[in-house]
Amino acid sequence: MKDYVPGLAGIPATESEISSIDGEKGILAYRGYSIKDLVDHSSFEETALLLMHGELPSPEELEDFKHILQKRNEVKRKIRRLLWSLPPNGHSMDVLQTAIASMATFYPDAGASEPDSEFTQNALVKIISTMSTLVAMWTRISRGYDPIPPSNNMDYAENFLYMCFGEKADEKIIKLLDVCLILHAEHTINASTFSTMVTASTLANPFSSIASGVGTLAGPLHGNANENVLIMLDEIGSPKNARGFIEDRLKNKKVIWGMGHREYKTKDPRATILEGLLKDYINSNGHTLSERFETALEVESICNELLSHKGVYPNVDFYSGILYAEVFKFTKEHFTPIFAMARSAGWVAHWHEQVSHNKIFRPTQIYTGKDFRSYPVS
């Protein structure tokens, strides 16, 4: 009998050239480039092209791609009407999944049988471009405001902030968001990427496949965890309450949100970068640490003391929610859609890689039910 491995932990499910993780050293790389180098020198648009095509683009190719993103970021009128018809208190990830799936009806020829055709390649870029527009639209529609049309002369991060708030953002804020998008763009075969790949392996169109990824990312054990981190920090209230809270959670075997990652035995490199960004932003603007951020630092210190021997350290969700709430001023229900907006680049890359060398996923199982038996006949 084959061994059953819950959650496929440690089981290779594919071969991929897109990204890699060294969990012992805490290194994440996209196409061989470390995430630290990309954050320091790249942009989200350049990183998206790298993920999709395997190499850094030339300056001319990058400018062409930016122009294409700007040209294709509008949303069909019927999809806008669809969003207006949904309950304003519906979760933003459910809305995003619905909108992405509906786009397949407008692009029926974007098929997996010809992943390199011009039509399909245009559809993949359309997903990345439109994702930011859809997320920004719902931040306004859910509050009863008309969406702000996208600009055709702003870069991706700047345009998203403009569509959300209706004004040009500070350059430091734009750079911070651009870094967040790079950090969240890809992360090997996580749950949502695997979901995208499984759907793609049936040769489903890219919109249906990415919609699968969006639905998977919505779960509290995946992308939705950053919302729960913020709720947890607010429940703790202040640094002085942190130890008692953490010890109680451990005693009762409850989740400490934002702590631990299956792939890392040290601190998630994305969490390290986000923590540094927060501190730099606060110091450069003459702010003092918020009580929420001070509480987060204390929680990390206590968890290092109590859990580091188990290889449990902060993951990317631990600091991203604080950054989204306190710097960008987003409400927590929009955190995960921003994650999805960034991850669309990785999903698109994995969709193309999967259908280009496809074999449908069909794992087996270990049956634990009743033995064969006869139906009772009276």
Q: Is 261 in the active site?
A: yes
| Active-site choice (184, 261, 350, 352) | 261
Mark residue 253 as left, alpha or beta (left: phi above 0; alpha: psi -120 to 50; beta: remaining).
Answer: left
| pLDDT for residue 4 is more than 80 | yes
Using one digit for the tens of pLDDT, what is the confidence trace for 186-234?
A: 999 999 999 999 999 999 999 999 999 999 999 888 877 888 899 999 9
Q: Is 317 in the active site?
A: yes
Domain with CATH 1.10.230.10 in the chain: 225-326
Instruction: Tell me the CATH architecture of domain 225-326.
Output: Orthogonal Bundle (1.10)
Confidence of residue 368 (pLDDT cuts 50, 70, 90): very high
Mean residue pLDDT across the chain? 92
pLDDT of residue 107: 87
Largest CA distance in the chain: 83
pLDDT of residue 64: 96
> Tell me, which fold does domain 14-217+337-356 have in CATH?
Citrate Synthase; domain 1 (1.10.580)
What single string gives the DSSP state of each residue in 249-262?
HHHTT---TTB-BT
pLDDT of residue 174: 95
d(CA 316, CA 258): 7
First vs last C-alpha separation in the chain: 37
pLDDT of residue 213: 97
pLDDT of residue 59: 96
Q: Does residue 184 contact residue 343 with C-beta atoms inside 8 Å?
A: yes
Beta bridge partners of 93: none
pLDDT of residue 170: 92
| Cα Rg of the chain, angstroms | 21
Q: Does residue 234 contact residue 292 with C-beta atoms inside 8 Å?
A: yes
Q: Which of 187, 312, 302 is nearest to 259 (CA)?
A: 312
pLDDT of residue 203: 94
Using one digit for the tens of pLDDT, what is the confidence trace for 272-325?
A: 999 898 888 888 877 777 888 899 889 999 998 999 888 888 888 888 888 898
User: What is the rounded average pLDDT of the residues 352-368?
Assistant: 93
Domain with CATH 1.10.580.10 in the chain: 14-217+337-356
% of the chain at pLDDT higher than 90:
70
| Active-site choice (317, 334, 350, 352) | 317
% of the chain at pLDDT higher than 70:
99
| pLDDT for residue 1 is more than 60 | no
Looking up tokens 């399909």, which residue turns up?
120
Q: How far is CA 128 from CA 31, 45, 150, 156, 174, in A?
A: 19, 10, 14, 10, 18
Using one digit for the tens of pLDDT, what is the confidence trace for 48-106?
A: 999 999 999 999 999 999 999 999 999 999 999 999 999 999 999 999 999 999 999 99
pLDDT of residue 67: 94
